Copies of this chain bind each other. A is one copy, B any other.
Amino acid sequence: MSQPFAIAVIGATGTVGETLVQILEERDFPLTELHLLASAESAGSSVAFKGRNLRVREVDAFDFSKVGLAFFAAGPAVSRSFALRAVKAGCSVIDLTGTFDQQEAPLVVPEIDAQGLAGANGPLLLSTPGPSATAVALALAPLRELLTLQRVDVTGCMAVSTLGREGVSELARQTAELLNMRPLEPRFYDRQVAFNLLAQVGTPDQEGHAAVERRLVRELRELLGLPLLKVSASCIQVPVFFGDSFTVSLQSAEAIDLQQVRDCLEAATGLELVEEGDYPTPVGDAVGQDVVYVGRVRGGIDDPHQLSLWLTADNVRKGAALNAVQVAELLIKGHV
Chain A residues proximal to chain B, CB less than 8 Å? 151, 153, 155, 157, 171-172, 175-176, 179, 191-192, 195-200, 204, 207-209, 213-214, 217, 228, 230-234, 236, 238-241, 245, 247, 249, 251, 276-277, 279-284, 295-303, 306, 308, 310, 312
Nearest neighbor of A198 in chain B, beta-carbon distance = B281
Pairwise interchain contact A245-B281, C-beta atoms closer than 8 A? no
Chain B residues in 8 Å Cβ range of A281: 191-192, 196-199
Known interface pairs A217-B301, A300-B230. Does A247 touch B236 (Cβ–Cβ under 8 Å)?
Answer: yes
Pairwise interchain contact A238-B197, C-beta atoms closer than 8 A? yes
Expressed in whole angstroms, the Cα–Cα distance for A245 and B198 within the complex equals 10
Chain B residues in 8 Å Cβ range of A191: 281, 284
Expressed in whole angstroms, the Cα–Cα distance for A14 and B284 within the complex equals 31
Chain B residues in 8 Å Cβ range of A302: 228, 230
Known interface pairs A175-B175, A208-B276. Does A283 touch B234 (Cβ–Cβ under 8 Å)?
Answer: no
Chain B residues in 8 Å Cβ range of A303: 230, 232
Pairwise interchain contact B234-A299, C-beta atoms closer than 8 A? no
Known interface pairs A296-B199, A310-B199. Does A301 touch B232 (Cβ–Cβ under 8 Å)?
Answer: yes
Pairwise interchain contact B298-A197, C-beta atoms closer than 8 A? no
A-B contact pairs, 26 of them (CB 8 A): A157-B197, A157-B236, A171-B195, A172-B179, A191-B281, A191-B284, A195-B239, A195-B283, A196-B281, A196-B282, A197-B240, A199-B245, A199-B281, A199-B312, A200-B279, A204-B296, A207-B299, A208-B276, A209-B298, A209-B301, A230-B300, A230-B306, A232-B308, A234-B296, A234-B308, A236-B245
Most buried by B among A175, A300, A301, A308: A301
Expressed in whole angstroms, the Cα–Cα distance for A234 and B302 within the complex equals 15
Chain B residues in 8 Å Cβ range of A284: 191-192, 196
